[in-house]
Chains A and B, each alone.
Chain A
């Protein structure tokens, strides 16, 4: 065995002996780490709650369709008078979607959509819901897939077939939950065959029910129901969320070019950027995270002070032991390392116990409670690492005290 190997083994033996001595002081050891334990456990739970909230937001935003840009016709400026409906600019065209798809380098897909609030009826039951007309490409972009039955396809669209895909909320209100596939509903008195039920998507970040909808083929909606030449919305999809800002710029240019010369064009449409939406959500999440981090730091600080206090007491109590070790050949450095390691081990033990308790509480809460928690191994590992580093740092103070003791004086203390 060479000298380096022996140094390592010597260190390992020292650690073993320290552990044995710490284990003998069960109560004190437990007390000294309890602060850190509680702190790390609390942080672990809070991180799980925060991660759960963030996941929920992300899921809902992504539920609208991934990497999405929504171009809407803007509400028209009201001329003095009394508008009975909210009028919108009428210059967006289905062809704009095709143009964006062709001309924009960043657009993966684009689809037009029309919509209106309409009364839908089945066997004497009425409900008012948003009826949307979109192409099958629009269904893909918006991530609308059938949970039962089928979605409409390009042929349905081309043939302007009277078929409808309906949301789970409409299924509940109109059919009381019974299977609606194959039934005929009337929308503005036009009969439509229900061919599928959309998969539930919950509510969007603003709180709107994403399942309260009826989707018709685009051509069917514009020609048979609305009889309008323009569209309300264009959905444009980017490859990734990071490209959304660039895509927005491109879309603006293309639309401005296509509609140049018309006065007020710049205000004629608004573009909702999913990245911006996510950023807002993330900012809220970041505020929460900052709170968690502050609490974590405070908890660690409190835990660290606890360990520092116990280690200082321990140095005082073990002055004779330190003197003895020095007499038996321990260098100042050996004593220093011993106390730093003991402190780090205490802190690591406290951190580990805290992580275990925290994960157990989070898991129990997720299993038995209504909370949406995400258990983060990353955060657990970080908590453990932070405690250990804290122990090393905090241990330096008593370690220096211990190493500074003169062996003769240390041996003489009672």
Chain B
């Protein structure tokens, strides 16, 4: 699903030149739940931005769902973000003045094909994260955990090839964080491909595989036994 080969990224701000990624190579299989770990400054956010087509590498190859995006233009990457990717952010990033349902339908606004029944699909997505009863609420009327669930529903609505999450539990209390993590686990068990960035070991434990990034290189890789690829799918089959 994801093929990354010798990816490099350098930030130039004269007279300084910072090499953030120094040749990263890995693959993510369809249906795999991969966590990228690393200290701050290790380059994990930059890597996620490139995977999310929000940033472009200086060198190397990035193939997402069969398409090479290493040299893709802005419009092409925008369209792919909409069609192939779902984002979950640490700060949720919901529109404050719009209901949960409206927030979930937001990506459909940028779809290139008619998405059909937008509200119906949004309701379905909210149901998948257990928030159908909160569809009409504003973000300010929801708890942090609920807000992040709305964000996950938003990431799901376009049926993306990959869901990317950047410290999705970083702003949540322990209990809500665990709930969010369970949703991700269910999604992975149902065949979703997930890439999650965190520095939290306890989160990493729920993934299938962990990549450890340090100073712009992958320095370690481990497979989590209990969730190894090919594990029996979980109960959340409807996702």
Contacts and interface: CB of A to CB of B under 8 A. Distances in A.
Contact of B110 (A9, A21, A331): A331
Interface in B65-94: 74-75, 78-79, 81-83, 87, 89, 93
A206 interface: no
Given A20-B98, A320-B93, A331-B74, A325 B110 contact: yes
Given A320-B93, A324-B93, A411-B89, A329 B110 contact: yes
A208 interface: no
A121 B132 CA distance: 97
A346 to B, nearest CB: 16
Contact of B81 (A6, A13, A328): A328
Interface string B86-121: 010100010101100010001101111110001000
Given A17-B109, A20-B98, A326 B93 contact: no
A336 to B, nearest CB: 12
Contact of B114 (A6, A25, A327): A6
B111 A21 contact: no
Contacts of A20: 97-98, 102
A3 interface: yes
B52 interface: yes
B114 A21 contact: no
B97 A407 contact: no
A277 to B, nearest CB: 62
B54 A329 contact: no
B93 A17 contact: no
B110 A3 contact: no
A179 interface: no
Given A408-B49, A411-B89, A330 B95 contact: no
A10 B111 contact: yes
A273 to B, nearest CB: 65
Interface residues of B, number: 29
Interface string B189-207: 0000000000000000000
B55 interface: yes
Interface string A315-328: 00000110111111
B74 A332 contact: yes
B18 to A, nearest CB: 15
B74 A329 contact: no
Interface in A66-95: none
B178 to A, nearest CB: 26
Nearest to A326: B78
A1 interface: yes
Contacts of B106: 17, 324-325, 328
Contacts of A10: 109-111
B123 to A, nearest CB: 17
Interface string A18-46: 00110011000000000000000000000
B55 A329 contact: no
Given A3-B113, A329-B107, A331-B110, A21 B95 contact: yes
Contact of B95 (A9, A13, A321, A332): A321
Nearest to A332: B74
B102 A17 contact: yes
A321 B55 CA distance: 18
Contacts of B112: 3
A329 B78 contact: yes
Given A329-B83, A332-B74, A24 B110 contact: no
Nearest to B89: A411
Given A6-B114, A9-B114, A10-B109, A330 B98 contact: no
B12 to A, nearest CB: 15
B55 A328 contact: no
A6 B115 CA distance: 9
Interface string B163-177: 000000000000000
B107 A328 contact: yes
Nearest to A327: B87
Interface in B107-145: 107, 109-114, 118
A250 interface: no
A149 interface: no
Interface in A322-350: 323-334
A249 to B, nearest CB: 68
A24 B139 CA distance: 14
Contact of A327 (B52, B97, B102): B52
Contact of B79 (A323, A324, A331): A331
A13 B119 CA distance: 12
Q: 6 tightest A-B contacts by CB?
A: A329-B82, A24-B97, A329-B110, A6-B114, A331-B78, A328-B107
20 contacts: A3-B113, A9-B114, A13-B109, A13-B118, A21-B95, A25-B97, A320-B93, A326-B54, A327-B52, A327-B81, A328-B81, A328-B107, A329-B158, A331-B75, A331-B79, A334-B78, A334-B110, A408-B54, A408-B55, A411-B93
Given A13-B118, A21-B97, A330-B82, 14 more contacts: A3-B112, A17-B102, A17-B109, A20-B98, A324-B95, A327-B93, A329-B107, A330-B78, A331-B78, A331-B79, A332-B74, A332-B75, A332-B78, A411-B54
